[in-house]
Structure 1
Amino acid sequence: MIRAVILDWAGTVVDFGSRAPMAAFQEAFRRLGVEISIDDARGPMGMAKRDHIRLVGSAPHTNAAWKARHGHDFGEADIDAIFEVFEPLNVAAVEKPEHSSLIAGANASLDWCAGRGIRIGSTTGYTRPIMQRLAPLAAKQGFAPEVMVCAGDLAAGRPAPLQMWWAMATMGIWPASEVVKFDDTPPGIGEARNAGAWAVGFALSGNIAGLSEAEMAQASEDQKAEMRERATVQLIEAGAHLVVDSIADLPMAIADIEARMAEGESP
């Protein structure tokens, strides 16, 4: 009943905790004289990186710091300056094994989809230069989606539906009601809903929890439950039909959605 899944990348298939961009964002702002926190950097995660920089820089406290340092409000020229520093830093970050490794359960879920004849596409908030480094590393581990639509490929990024529509058009898959998008961020969930597809969020492997795989393994069950609840609230508010822990739960999520479809529910 589900014909295709569209997967996000960081925090969904690779880079447990979606940690690669964090230090790059912080360092890019630092090099231009303004300190931002991890929470600042994580806030708009999932959006195209230029849009992400715009939101971080225009936040009242960041803008105030920028104005104190540079004598003017954070603007479009400043986005260009930050992005010029950020992108090479993010390219270097995604090449590290801890940021390019597939999340546990990814291969088994991909094999399950293949066995069901479910096709695999992808969209990402990363730019194409970043993905030109990351995609070959993922392919060596078994993740090579039919299509990869990057931030900047189209006129608008997430939560606009254009990347989803382009992926589905390239794959020749329709209607959107037979497609599931898996993502760890609210903008990625919004992308799916705006495209008319099912949306499933990942609570523990992604940006909202933000822990590395090793850190998550050391967390207590109570800590995991708290992180799961916090992520679930945000992802459901963004429009997710279902929230599970990670890509290891993909088969269970699709079974849940297909049961809803059998009852006449649509996205």
Structure 2
Amino acid sequence: MKIEAVIFDWAGTAVDFGCFAPVNVFLTIFEDAGVAVTLEEARKPMGMLKIDHIRTMLEMPRIAEAWQAVYGRAFTEEDVQTLYGQFEEKLMASLATYTDPIQYVKETVATLRAANIKIGSTTGYTAEMMEVVTHHAALKGYAPDTLVTPTQLQDKGRPYPYMIFRNMELLNIQATQQVVKVGDTTSDIQEARNAGVWAVGVVIGSSEMGLSEAEFHALSVEEQGAIIAKTVQVFAQAGAHYTIQTMAELPALLDTINTRLQQEVVFV
């Protein structure tokens, strides 16, 4: 048995260093609603279907209290739908500008394909949003073999495992242990663990790290090391089997996993 497929997340993993396309819009729609949220609060549910992300933010005690103070009542499902409508409109207007492949992604995908490894993908974006992302990413040299969105699965996105299972079906993969899921959020790790596949967190460029490319490279070596270590710890606590700093490390990691599989080491 060996790895037959790698399933990548999109924003913060394959494209959009730092996952800023959705984050900026989350900040804007809450500010427009009169309830300011922090960058940390906006990032915490990252990786989920975006309407679930908004609902999760509204359920956070501090945000729920602030909403109550502004509107004199708790938030409602109608509020969730209104915010999501604003989110979708604003995101669609800016999404194309956040589709640059992150460093080493294209080279790594080429290496994996040369080894006959199939490339799948999952996302927290809707199918309509992904039409924009996939079109522009392909023009820039990145196009996985398959894409599955929550829209295709009755909006059952992460942490449900179904997007991974659909990728496996489309890619004709027989066993979960033959699949690696790579993502940049704890939701990605939970999705992978729930699916019973290898869970790998990618650190540099991740939403979990939360820095733009310029901000990261402006740090000293010591500061970079500290934030990398902090992000690795978050992924480990979420249940990641492995973490990699960049995609350049992925081919060697697959060799390590294949060795474990050949030794019939069962992961838990």
Query: TM-score, normalised to structure 2's length?
Result: 0.95
Q: Which residue of 2 aligns with 1:23?
A: 24
Using the TM superposition, give the Cα deviation of residue 58 of structure 1 relative to its aligned residue in structure 2, in angstroms.
1.2
Residues 135-186 of structure 1 show CA distances to partners (whole Å, capped at 9, x for unaligned) of: 1111112221121111332132111101111111122112111010000111
Contact 1:21 1:93 in 2 (8 A): no
Q: Which residue of 2 aligns with 1:128?
A: 127
Which residue type is aligned with residue 72 of structure 2? G
Q: Which residue of 1 aligns with 2:223?
A: 223
Residues 190-214 of structure 1 show CA distances to partners (whole Å, capped at 9, x for unaligned) of: 1111111111101122011111112
Q: Which residue of 1 aligns with 2:103?
A: 104
Count of residues in Structure 1 that have an aligned counterpart in Structure 2: 265
Which residue type is aligned with residue 180 of structure 1? V
Name the SS for the 1:120 alignment partner: strand
Q: Which residue of 2 aligns with 1:213?
A: 213
Contact 1:26 1:38 in 2 (8 A): yes
Using the TM superposition, give the Cα deviation of residue 75 of structure 1 relative to its aligned residue in structure 2, in angstroms.
2.4
Give distance in 2, aligned partners of 1:9 and 1:70.
36
Q: Which residue of 2 aligns with 1:43?
A: 44
Name the SS for the 1:35 alignment partner: coil
Q: Structure 1 residues 101 and 58, CA, compared in 2 at 3 Å: closer, same or farther?
A: same
Residues 241-267 of structure 1 show CA distances to partners (whole Å, capped at 9, x for unaligned) of: 100112222112212211222222233
Q: Which residue of 2 aligns with 1:203?
A: 203
Q: Which residue of 2 aligns with 1:10?
A: 11
Q: Which residue of 2 aligns with 1:83?
A: 84
Q: Which residue of 2 aligns with 1:153?
A: 152
Name the SS for the 1:192 alignment partner: helix
Using the TM superposition, give the Cα deviation of residue 93 of structure 1 relative to its aligned residue in structure 2, in angstroms.
2.7
Q: Which residue of 1 aligns with 2:184?
A: 184
Using the TM superposition, give the Cα deviation of residue 133 of structure 1 relative to its aligned residue in structure 2, in angstroms.
0.8
Compare 108-117 and 151-160 and name the one that shifted more.
151-160
Query: TM-score, normalised to structure 1's length?
Result: 0.95
Using the TM superposition, give the Cα deviation of residue 81 of structure 1 relative to its aligned residue in structure 2, in angstroms.
0.7
Alignment of 1:32 with 2:20, yes or no, is: no
Q: Which residue of 2 aligns with 1:169?
A: 169
Task: Mark the runs of 5 or more structure 1 residues left unpaired by the alignment.
Answer: none
Give distance in 1, aligned partners of 2:101 and 2:226.
25
Name the SS for the 2:19 alignment partner: coil
Compare 109-118 and 167-176 and name the one that shifted more.
167-176
Contact 1:203 1:227 in 2 (8 A): no
Task: Mark the runs of 5 or more structure 2 residues left unpaired by the alignment.
Answer: none
Name the SS for the 1:158 alignment partner: coil
Query: What percent identity do the matched residue pairs reach?
Result: 37
Q: Which residue of 1 aligns with 2:143?
A: 144
Residues 16-43 of structure 1 show CA distances to partners (whole Å, capped at 9, x for unaligned) of: 1111111100111122221111111001
Name the SS for the 1:230 alignment partner: helix
Q: Which residue of 1 aligns with 2:65?
A: 64
Contact 1:3 1:178 in 2 (8 A): yes
Give distance in 1, aligned partners of 2:246 and 2:21.
18
Give distance in 2, aligned partners of 1:133 and 1:264.
42
CA RMSD of aligned residues (A): 1.2
Runs of 4 or more off by more than 3 Å in structure 1? Answer: none
Give distance in 2, aligned partners of 1:123 and 1:151.
8
